[in-house]
Amino acid sequence: MKRNRIIAGLAICVFAASAIAARAFPHRNTARHATPPPAASEMRALSAPQVEALPPQAARDALAELPGVRADQERQLIAGIGSKSYAVNAAPTTDGGVCMTTPAGGGCFTSFAPSGISFGVGMNNDGPASPADRELIAGVASDRVSRIDVVAGNRRLRVPLRDNAFVYEAPAVGVWADALEVGLTDGSKARVVVSNANRAEAIP
Amino acid sequence: MKRVVIGLAAVIGLMASAGAALATLSVYTYHGPSDAIWNQIYEGPDTFGPRYYNRVYRPTGTNPLNQMCLRYHYNDGSYTPWQCNYSTNPFYAYNGSGGNLTAYPAKAQCKYYFDGGLPSQGLANVTCQTTVGLP
């Protein structure tokens, strides 16, 4: 009888301790259980009927070279942005990830970071670097993302975001993004630092 | 007349052999040192030649400073702008149409970069690749 009481008491202590620990260390608990969902499951545009045109052949060829890409589900997500009518193309992979081609690079990733975006940074020029080049940022966004702004010094510039993809071309030479401010559908915001390797480099 | 025919045949022969050389694609892999260094450039084949596309395999892990960059370096000293990325693996450089960024004659370069980083920040197992040749 006494032994049962001791066991019951111990069980209550363990329960209470775990409840206290859960309140004290919420991130530790969520980190253990919160495996981020596959990226493709967070991009409705990849499973929606094709609205935009198919990706151009060059982009389709590039996507087809990526590992595990489902070439039959390629999408052009956003197009016609900026000085050279930039676009972002993407396709899901067999393991639920996403592959993309953008004018600022691309490739594949398995899940979104908490910010809900995956992107590349470059310039609006494919040839030799020139003093006339402007910054270019392009990528994809999860369904959790409702708005993206570039923070450049004291300027805040709205980024075109459509069908889970975005493209930003700086409005002028020398306007450099310090960060992307991402508005999420739950009302919160995430700030993603942008570090453009071209910013500090002199053009020969 | 005979000279013209021989000249034409020679030109066609040269063009065909050049075409065959460009159509042969091979992947050249180059690595950063075992402990890669921030803002250090790693270079592809020493000779300038046709380059079909560049890519970089980043080390796995969650280092938030793990930004990898790619560009081409031309034989006249000029170079393409860097393209950089934090999250895709592999990361490929593309052109404005979303296709492979090609260059000729060029060397491939990649680097690990973050503006706020420290030169001592190490990153192991960076693998960069360039595809030599043009289809």
Percent of all residues in chain A with a pLDDT value above 90, rounded to a whole number = 74
Contact flag A196-B90 (C-beta cutoff 8 Å): no
Q: What is the pLDDT of residue B65?
A: 57
Lowest mean pLDDT among A132-136, A188-192, A196-200: A196-200
Q: What is the pLDDT of residue B10?
A: 43
In the sheet that A145-152 helps form, which strands lie side by side, from edge to edge?
A155-158, A145-152, A179-184, A189-193
Q: What is the pLDDT of residue B41?
A: 87
Residue A53 pLDDT grade (very low, low, confident, very high; cuts 50, 70, 90): confident
Q: How far is A20 from chain B (nearest CA, A)?
A: 29
Residue A26 has pLDDT above 70, yes or no: no
Q: How far is B106 from chain A (nearest CA, A)?
A: 11
Percent of all residues in chain A with a pLDDT value above 70, rounded to a whole number = 82
Could you tell me if A50 and A75 are in contact, meaning their C-beta atoms sit under 8 angstroms apart?
Answer: yes
CA A152 to chain centre: 19
Q: What is the pLDDT of residue B3?
A: 52
Contacts of B135 (CB under 8 A, 6+ apart): B22, B23, B25, B52
Percent of all residues in chain B with a pLDDT value above 90, rounded to a whole number = 45
Q: What is the pLDDT of residue B61?
A: 60
User: What is the arithmetic mean of pLDDT over A27-40?
Assistant: 65
- Quote the pTM value: 0.83
Q: What is the ipTM of this complex?
A: 0.82
Closest partner residue to A102 among B94, B114, B116, by Cβ? Answer: B94
Most confident of the ranges A200-204, B53-57, B60-64: B53-57
